[in-house]
Amino acid sequence: MVGIGGMLIAIGHDIQLISELAKVDSLKVPEIFFTPAECQYFSKRKNYLQSMAATFSAKEALFKVLGGVPNFYWTDIEVQHNSSYAPYFEFHGSLAEYFIKQNWTAHLSISHSGDYVSTFVTISTRS
């Protein structure tokens, strides 16, 4: 299947109950699950926990897609937002190198509804 960015390689999905993350203190410490830039983004949002859950869910969806990829860290995946607040991935470290070597790109969609956040990730070849 050919789509945006080239040949579709994989699709991942995750759904997260936002309130589940409220008591996970390690999520609030930069460099464990989230980069300092992500933590700064959360702190500027009206609903800190919802933004954090969305980023957590995006990383979970990507982890599900990348089951066989060599070791990488949570912070090798960074969720950024463009000027219209649309989310996208920025990769660091060994994960960035792996995506370049494979000639892959990733696309991200995040939706919020009530107490949940849902994310979809696609990986495709670069065109």
At 5 the pLDDT is 61
Q: Given pLDDT bands bounded at 50, 70 and 90, which one contains residue 25?
A: confident
Cβ 124 vs Cβ 3: under 8 Å: yes
Q: Given pLDDT bands bounded at 50, 70 and 90, which one contains residue 17?
A: very high
d(CA 64, CA 67) in angstroms, rounded, equals 6
For residue 43, give the CATH number of its domain: 3.90.470.20
DSSP 39-59: HHHHHHSSSHHHHHHHHHHHH
What's the one-letter identity of residue 16? Answer: Q
Cβ 3 vs Cβ 123: under 8 Å: no
Q: How confident is the prediction for the chain on average, in pLDDT?
A: 91
Q: Number of folded domains in the chain?
A: 1
pLDDT in tens, 52-71: 999 999 999 999 998 777 78
In 29-115 the beta strands, taken as DSSP E runs, fall at 77-81, 87-91, 104-113
Report the alpha-carbon angle 12-34-66, nearest 5: 25
Q: Looking at the whole model, is its pTM more than 0.75?
A: yes
Mean pLDDT of 15-20: 96
Q: Given pLDDT bands bounded at 50, 70 and 90, which one contains residue 3?
A: low
At 92 the pLDDT is 96
At 88 the pLDDT is 97
Please state the φ and ψ torsions of residue 50, each to the nearest 5 degrees.
Answer: -65, -45
At 28 the pLDDT is 80
The parent domain of residue 88 ranges over: 2-125
Region at 20 (left for phi over 0; alpha for psi -120 to 50; beta for the rest): alpha
Residue 73, pLDDT above cutoff 80: yes
Cβ 59 vs Cβ 33: under 8 Å: yes
Tokens 């702190």 -> residue: 43
At 104 the pLDDT is 94
